[in-house]
Structure 1
Amino acid sequence: MAAPSALRDDATLVSHAVVELARRTHFPVAFGGLEHDGAVHVSSIVGARTRSIEGLVVHASRGLGGRALVERRPRMTLDYRTSRSITHDYDRAILGEGIATLFAVPVLVGGTARGVLYCGSWAQAPVGEVEARPAFDVAGELGTELRVRAEVERRLQSAPTPEGGLSAGAREEIRESYAQLRSIAATVGDDSVRRRLEDVEGRLAALTGDTPVTTPDPDVHLSRREIDVLACAAVGSTNGEIATTLQLRETTVKSYLASAMAKLDASTRHAAVTRARRAGLLP
Structure 2
Amino acid sequence: MLTHADSEPDEQLIARAVGDLARRTRFPVAFGGLERDGAIHISAISGARTRSIDGLVVHAMRGLGGRALVEKRPRLALDYRVARSITHDYDRAILGEGISTLFAVPVVVSGRSRAVLYCGAWSQAPVGDVVARPALAVADELAAELRVRDEVQRRLALTSTGPVDVLPATAREELRESYAELRRIAAGVDDPELRSRLTAVETRLASLSSAAAPPALDLDVSLAPRELDVLAHAGLGETNGEIAAALGLREGTVKSYLQAAMAKLDASTRHAAVAKARRAGLLP
**TM-score for the superposition, normalised by structure 1:** 0.90
How big is the alpha-carbon RMSD for the aligned residues of Structure 1 and Structure 2?
A: 2.3
Secondary structure of the corresponding residue to residue 281 of structure 1: coil
Moved over 6 A (4+): 2-5
More divergent stretch after superposition (165-174 vs 198-207) = 165-174
Q: What does residue 241 of structure 2 align with?
A: 240
1:86/1:117 CA distance change after superposition, 3 Å:
same
Q: What does residue 192 of structure 1 align with?
A: 193
Q: Is the 8 A contact 1:187 1:246 kept in 2?
A: no
For the residues of structure 1 that align with 2:102 and 2:164, how far apart are their CA atoms?
Answer: 55
Deviation at 1:251, TM superposition (A): 2.5
Q: What does residue 44 of structure 2 align with?
A: 44
- Equivalent AA in structure 2 for residue 266 of structure 1: A
More divergent stretch after superposition (77-86 vs 125-134) = 77-86
- Equivalent AA in structure 2 for residue 162 of structure 1: G
Deviation at 1:163, TM superposition (A): 4.8
Unpaired stretches in structure 2, ≥5 consecutive residues: none
**TM-score for the superposition, normalised by structure 2:** 0.89
Secondary structure of the corresponding residue to residue 31 of structure 1: strand
1:277/1:171 CA distance change after superposition, 3 Å:
same
Q: Is the 8 A contact 2:19 2:46 kept in 1?
A: yes
Secondary structure of the corresponding residue to residue 55 of structure 1: coil
For the residues of structure 1 that align with 2:231 and 2:54, how far apart are their CA atoms?
Answer: 47
Once the two structures are aligned, what percentage of the paired residues are identical?
66
Matching of residue 213 in structure 1 with residue 211 in structure 2:
no
Q: Is the 8 A contact 1:159 1:173 kept in 2?
A: no
Q: Is the 8 A contact 1:72 1:106 kept in 2?
A: yes
1:59/1:168 CA distance change after superposition, 3 Å:
closer
For the residues of structure 1 that align with 2:166 and 2:23, how far apart are their CA atoms?
Answer: 43
1:156/1:4 CA distance change after superposition, 3 Å:
closer
Unpaired stretches in structure 1, ≥5 consecutive residues: none
Secondary structure of the corresponding residue to residue 58 of structure 1: strand
For the residues of structure 1 that align with 2:17 and 2:187, how far apart are their CA atoms?
Answer: 19
- Equivalent AA in structure 1 for residue 204 of structure 2: R
Matches within 5 A, 1:154-173: 154-159=154-159, 161-163=161-163, 165-167=165-167, 169=169, 170-173=171-174
Deviation at 1:13, TM superposition (A): 1.6
Q: What does residue 124 of structure 2 align with?
A: 124
1:195/1:163 CA distance change after superposition, 3 Å:
closer
Q: Is the 8 A contact 2:30 2:46 kept in 1?
A: yes
Q: Is the 8 A contact 2:206 2:282 kept in 1?
A: no
- Equivalent AA in structure 1 for residue 193 of structure 2: S
- Cα offsets for 1:101-136 (capped at 9, x unmatched): 111111111222222110111122111111100111
Matching of residue 91 in structure 1 with residue 91 in structure 2:
yes
Q: Is the 8 A contact 1:156 1:174 kept in 2?
A: no
For the residues of structure 1 that align with 2:197 and 2:88, how far apart are their CA atoms?
Answer: 38
Q: What does residue 257 of structure 2 align with?
A: 256
Deviation at 1:232, TM superposition (A): 1.4
- Equivalent AA in structure 1 for residue 206 of structure 2: A
- Cα offsets for 1:185-205 (capped at 9, x unmatched): 122232222111111111222
For the residues of structure 1 that align with 2:207 and 2:282, how far apart are their CA atoms?
Answer: 11
For the residues of structure 2 that align with 1:130 and 1:140, how far apart are their CA atoms?
Answer: 16
1:52/1:166 CA distance change after superposition, 3 Å:
farther
